[in-house]
A and B are shown apart, each in its own frame.
Chain A
Amino acid sequence: MKEVNKEVLATAAHKLMFDMSDEQYDNLLAEFDVIISQMNLIGDIEGVDEAEPMTFPFDVTNTYLREDVATSPLSKEEALKNAKDVVDGQIRLPRVVK
């Protein structure tokens, strides 16, 4: 496992498109001490690495095709209603080519 330090945590934060203050990184580093100790509890469990990863509570097979009936999706106006900057039916963002 990658060593936990401020730089690594900042990289993880930037991948998620946000930044944190130095104090927040310090708090998180302290929190990681507990998290790693808790994660070690999982590593101690016999047979854990041989188990099949579980991604949903139980197996369900939902196989169906809906009837071929037209339905109405959101209108363009509705889809744009919550965007802060809309021009000519499109969301405006800062210019890419300067």
Chain B
Amino acid sequence: MVKSDFQGWLNNMGYMDKSLTYIHEAILKGEVTPLDLVKEAIELAKKDTNNAFEYICEKEALDSVSKLDSSKKNNLLYGIPVVIKDNFSTKDIPTTGSSNILNGYVPVFSSEVVTRLENEGAIVIAKSTMDELAMGGSGTTGHLGVTYNPWDKEKIYQVGGSSCGSAAAVSAGIVPFALGSDTGDSVRKPASFAALVGFKPTWGRISRFGLFPFATSLDHVAYFTRNVYDSAYMLNILAGRDDKDASSSFNKVEDYTANLSNPIKGKKIAVIKAIIDSISDKEVLSAFNKSLDYLKEQGAEIDVVNVDVKLLKAIYPTYIIISCAEATSNNANLDGIKFGNRIEGESFEEVMLNTRTNGFSPLIKRRFVIGSFSLLKENQDELFVRAQKCRRLIVNAFNKVFEKYDAIYCPAAPSIAPLIKGSSNNLSDEYLIADNYMAFANMGGYPSITLPIGFEKNMPFGANLTAKPFQETVLLNIAKVIENGTGLKDLVAKRD
């Protein structure tokens, strides 16, 4: 056996590159123990070359495994290692939001989603890197530096952000599931660049208690898996009312795996013309059209639909103004006094000023100033309030599409992952529409999922499907059919 074959054989020995259901079956059959799984995941995490982790919880994870209640062995997540984005509070585990201002911060409580995962037997093995305080989309702005795309051994392409470390951990086969958050497209965009399923359910469907707020009216808990079934199953676990989050929905939780195999005959799917028109990459368009053909073969009715181009171009600036403005207020508590990396001064004002000046990176400060500028009394009507008004028109336009259609389906991005050192024309149609339209799902709170549809230059790209609020069952059903058509599931980037 030559060395590369041996390495390949070794790589296939593990379980972390398999689906949740496969690993669960292996535990039930006694082929592997939770301790084996946690050791495997931690060893892989330690060998990570993509800068995916803020903190590897080896001691904590081994302790959790030793306390597992074997009577819960039938729970799908029993003994399964998971990774958590570093903006979710994790009791007794350092949590920084990839910002120096929170260096040394150790939460005294866990976020609701982490508690739900642990109650199902999941073992948190690491906190993942992110764009600082989730305010970025490239995976390059966290305080530990650039997070790399596991599909790219040259380390020149982005993995996307802000949930970069979670995306890298799942696509590198270190864990089968990782939590992220999605305020503009922070899970659904990296999913496209890393051949993953990235899912953001309806606003209010999953509790945000314990998630560091960025822009409250747009923030969603979201996550990565490697296939649609696992995404549906994870929603069964994470969805549901939580009194600790006032925006959490009372709507009934369904069994989201129950209808995945339903026929989609007669389902109406809209493709937005201006989004397709703003994409020039032929490989992306060709793979997307193939997936449309498959949907038609399965009986779906596909129409190309017009949405006002001016509104589509306005999605990104509307998102930037609203999110930056909300972020200034949500991050006002980061002053180093009650928690965080306090820098001393002669007065309490100076303590705050020094802490914030030293703790935030230049990029975050620029975002905050944009928010503050848009909230100045003289500017509020023309910037912040106008952006909120524009949000209404954007959501109205998409609601109108949803009056006739079950889902909206388009490429998730105009191309494969951009270069880390690349630049873009921020006023082009491709940038304003194809690259940033997915924030409409945050503005309207729609459930939205990205899944892989093809490869170009050995790098993946995906498509995005979005449905009406609380129509996760329909969304996941159609997504499963797309996955069946492409055959692209359970993809893992080859390890080094």
Contact = CB atoms under 8 A, between A and B. Distances in A.
A17 B353 contact: yes
B372 A58 contact: no
A16 B342 contact: no
A3 to B, nearest CB: 10
B337 to A, nearest CB: 6
A49 B445 CA distance: 23
Contacts of B444: 57-58
Nearest to B338: A83
Interface of A is mostly: loop
B458 interface: no
Given A17-B356, A54-B443, A45 B314 contact: yes
A38 B370 CA distance: 13
Interface string B385-398: 11111111101000
A57 B389 contact: no
Contacts of A34: 426-427
Interface residues of A, number: 57
Interface string A1-33: 110100011001101111111001001100110
Given A8-B373, A17-B353, A51 B390 contact: yes
B232 to A, nearest CB: 22
Interface string B377-418: 011001101111111110100000000000000000000000
B395 A54 contact: yes
B337 A91 contact: yes
Nearest to A34: B426
A4 B370 CA distance: 11
B266 to A, nearest CB: 26
Contact of A41 (B313, B360, B372): B313
B350 interface: yes
A48 B383 CA distance: 12
Given A42-B387, A54-B389, A62-B246, A37 B427 contact: yes
B370 A35 contact: yes
Contacts of B108: 74, 78-79, 81-82
A31 B367 CA distance: 10
B345 A91 contact: no
A55 B344 CA distance: 37
B317 A42 contact: yes
Interface string A45-61: 10111111111111010
Contacts of A81: 106, 108
B340 interface: yes
Contact of B346 (A31, A55, A94): A94
Interface string A73-87: 010001101111100
Given A12-B376, A16-B328, A35-B370, A24 B386 contact: no
Interface string B196-218: 00000001100000000000011
Contacts of B332: 16
B347 A57 contact: no
B299 to A, nearest CB: 30
B37 to A, nearest CB: 32
Contact of A28 (B318, B348, B369): B369
A45 B309 CA distance: 10
A67 to B, nearest CB: 10
B316 interface: yes
B167 to A, nearest CB: 24
Contact of A74 (B109, B248, B360, B373): B109
A66 B395 CA distance: 33
Given A38-B320, A57-B445, A82-B108, A9 B390 contact: no
A24 B390 contact: no
B382 to A, nearest CB: 5
Q: Name the 5 nearest CB pairs between A and B, nearest first.
A: A57-B445, A82-B339, A53-B388, A38-B317, A18-B356
Interface of B: 104-106, 108-109, 203-204, 217-218, 243, 246-250, 308, 310-311, 313-314, 316-318, 320-321, 328, 332, 335-340, 342, 344-353, 356-357, 360, 362, 365-366, 368-370, 372-373, 376, 378-379, 382-383, 385-393, 395, 426-427, 432, 442-446, 469
Given A24-B366, A45-B310, 18 more contacts: A1-B379, A13-B368, A13-B369, A16-B356, A17-B356, A20-B362, A28-B369, A32-B373, A39-B386, A42-B387, A56-B217, A56-B247, A57-B442, A79-B108, A81-B108, A91-B338, A93-B351, A94-B345
Interface of A: 1-2, 4, 8-9, 12-13, 15-21, 24, 27-28, 31-32, 34-35, 37-39, 41-45, 47-58, 60, 62, 64, 66, 74, 78-79, 81-85, 91, 93-94, 96
